[in-house]
Amino acid sequence: MAFEMPSTSATMLSGLRAGQEGAWDRFYAIYAPIAYRFARKRGLGASDCEDVVAIVMRNLLVAFRRGLVVDYSRGRFRNYFRAVVNHAISQQLKRTGRDGELDPQTLAESQPARADREVARLEARELVRLCVEQLKATYPRPRDVVIFERYVIHEEPPARLARLFNVSRARIYAIRHEVLAALKQYMAEQRAEFGMDAEGDSAC
C-alpha cells in the first residue's frame, strides 16, 4: 500500500519528549481527532469525548515530560496510544455512570493487532487531511484543485468539466496527475518532517 505508516515517528516522539511546541501541535492535529472518534464510537456525547481527548493528552504530556520510553518489545506507540485512549474512555464512562455498557466489538478492537491497524488507518487519513489543507492553501493554480476535486473526488464526468472550465479533456487528466503529484510531495515532506519513514528507534 502506498500510504502505509510502518511506525509512529521516532522523530516525532523525540520532539514530544523534548517538548517542541510544533511537534505537539502536529501531534494534536493528528491524534486528538483519532481519540475523539474512538470515544464517539463508544457512544459518548460530544462534550464527554472532548473530555476524553483532554485526559488522553494530559496523560501523554505528563508521560513524555517524564521521559516516556516506548517498549517496542511490547508493542508500538499506536498500541500504547490506543491503551491510553481506552483507559480515558473507561474513566469517562465511569464518571458518567455508564461503565456497565461494554460492547464486545470495541473490546475486540482494542486487541493490539486490530488497534494498530485501526490507528494506522486513521493516522494516514489525518495526515492526508493535513496535506490536502496545505495543498489547497499553497497550490499555485487553485482552479486546478477545484477541477481535481470535482473530477476525482465528486466523480463529475471529465467531458462536462472540460466544457465548464474551457479546457481539454486531456488537460483534466493532466490536472489529476499534477495535483496528485503535488499531494504526494507534501506527504513525503510531512513524513520526512515527522520521520515517518523510519521504524521506531530503540530510544523511543
Partner 1 sequence: MLNWFRRCPSPQRLLEYARRHASVWVARHVQRCPKCRQELERLYQEEELVALWSDRGNDVDESTRTRLLLRCQQVAREVGADQLGDRPPVRTRRNGCHPPAP
**The one-letter amino acid at 12:** M
Applying CB under 8 A, does 32 fall inside the site for partner 1? yes
Applying CB under 8 A, does 200 fall inside the site for partner 1? no
Q: Between vectors from CA 130 to CA 129 and to CA 136, what angle results, nearest 5°?
A: 85
Q: Among 6-14, 59-67, 98-106, 196-204, which window interacts with partner 1 (CB under 8 A)?
A: 59-67
Which positions from 67 through 96 interact with partner 1, judged by CB under 8 A?
Answer: none
Residue 74 or 155 having the CB closest to partner 1: 155
Helices and strands (H and E) in the chain: how many: 9, 0
Applying CB under 8 A, does 167 fall inside the site for partner 1? no
Size of the site for partner 1 (CB under 8 A): 36
Applying CB under 8 A, does 119 fall inside the site for partner 1? no
Question: Contacting partner 1 (CB under 8 A), which of 61, 146, 167, 198?
Answer: 61
Rounded Cα distance between 140 and 108, Å, is 46
Question: Contacting partner 1 (CB under 8 A), which of 12, 57, 115, 119?
Answer: 57
Q: What residue has cell string 511546541?
A: 21
Applying CB under 8 A, does 137 fall inside the site for partner 1? no
Smallest separation (angstroms) from partner 1 to the CB of 186: 11
Smallest separation (angstroms) from partner 1 to the CB of 59: 10
**176-185 contacts, C-beta under 8 A, 24 or more apart:** 176/148, 176/151, 176/152, 178/144, 179/135, 179/139, 179/144, 179/145, 179/148, 179/152, 180/148, 182/135, 182/139, 183/128, 183/131, 183/132, 183/135
Which residues are at the interface with partner 1 (CB under 8 A)? 1-3, 24-25, 28-29, 32-33, 36-37, 40-41, 46, 50, 53-54, 57-58, 61-62, 65, 124-125, 128, 132, 152-153, 169-170, 173, 176, 180, 183-184, 187
